[in-house]
Amino acid sequence: MTGAGFWLASTLTPAVWLGIWAWPVAAAGQAILLLGVSWQLERISLANRVTRDELESVSAQLLELRQATSRPSGQAAISSTHNYAHPAEVSSDQMLLADVKSQLDLLALRMSRGQR
């Protein structure tokens, strides 16, 4: 502070100080409060999006698990033949016969449920 500012500050009464600084300080406080609230809302929104994405991922995993546990045990053998370049060249006769048997079991199960 300069000399005149110090003299002015020392001679002002508390009522004058409140009159000079009350509105600017209150306005600055409100502005800071609004910035803080908007920052918190942004953080909550980000956390909500992250949680939603994680829940969607868990939901998809649960659906896959539910589908995997509800399919018959022979269906795993059916899908395994699609991994071969050519099943007759790579697989043994017993493996191909087991694959055909599991496909027939799956077909019988679907027919018993009325599925196509």
Residue-level pLDDT at 77: 45
d(CA 1, CA 90): 92
Q: What is the pLDDT of residues 7-42, one digit of tens each?
A: 666 666 666 666 777 788 888 999 999 999 999 999
114: left (phi > 0), else alpha (psi -120 to 50), else beta? left
* Mean pLDDT, range 61-76, rounded to an integer: 70
State how far the Cα of 61 lies from the Cα of 29, in Å rounded to an integer: 48
Q: Using a pLDDT cut of 70, give the percent of the chain over it.
A: 63
User: Could you tell me if 72 and 35 are in contact, meaning their C-beta atoms sit under 8 angstroms apart?
Assistant: no
Instruction: Evaluate whether 87 touches 99 at the Cβ level (below 8 Å).
Output: yes
pLDDT given for residue 26 in this prediction: 84
